[in-house]
């Protein structure tokens, strides 16, 4: 399993690491008015709150920022 650790941005910049990706993970659910079909694209607007930020060391001199958000509504 890949390691996700909490470190400060100061520590990352001191180590000279480069940002690889910013990843947003959203938790939540909503009711919808229509049936969905497999393979059909849908679009919607979400209101979310970022509840946590983690740094994932890629062990190649880069890191990912992982933003965890909780869905508040649509």
Tell me: pLDDT of 9 over 70. no
Q: DSSP assignment, residue 60?
A: S
Buried b (16+ CB within 10 A) or exposed e, 25-64: eeeeeeeeeeeeeeeeeeeeeeebeeeeebbbbeeeeebb
Token match 């979310």: residue? 48
Do the domain assignments include residue 38? no
Determine the structural domain holding residue 9 and report its residue range.
Answer: 4-30+44-73
Do the domain assignments include residue 56? yes
Do the domain assignments include residue 58? yes
Q: Which tokens sit at 36? A: 């969905």
Tell me: pLDDT of 55 over 60. yes
Do the domain assignments include residue 13? yes
Do the domain assignments include residue 37? no
Tell me: pLDDT of 38 over 90. yes
pLDDT of 33 reads 85
């Amino acid at each position: 399993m890949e390691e996700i650790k909490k470190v400060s941005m100061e520590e990352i910049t001191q180590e000279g690491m480069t940002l690889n990706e910013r990843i947003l993970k959203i938790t939540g659910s909503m009711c919808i008015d229509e049936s969905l079909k497999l393979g059909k694209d849908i679009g919607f607007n979400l209101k979310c709150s970022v509840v946590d930020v983690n740094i994932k060391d890629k062990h190649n001199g880069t890191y990912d920022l992982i933003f965890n958000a909780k869905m508040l509504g649509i």
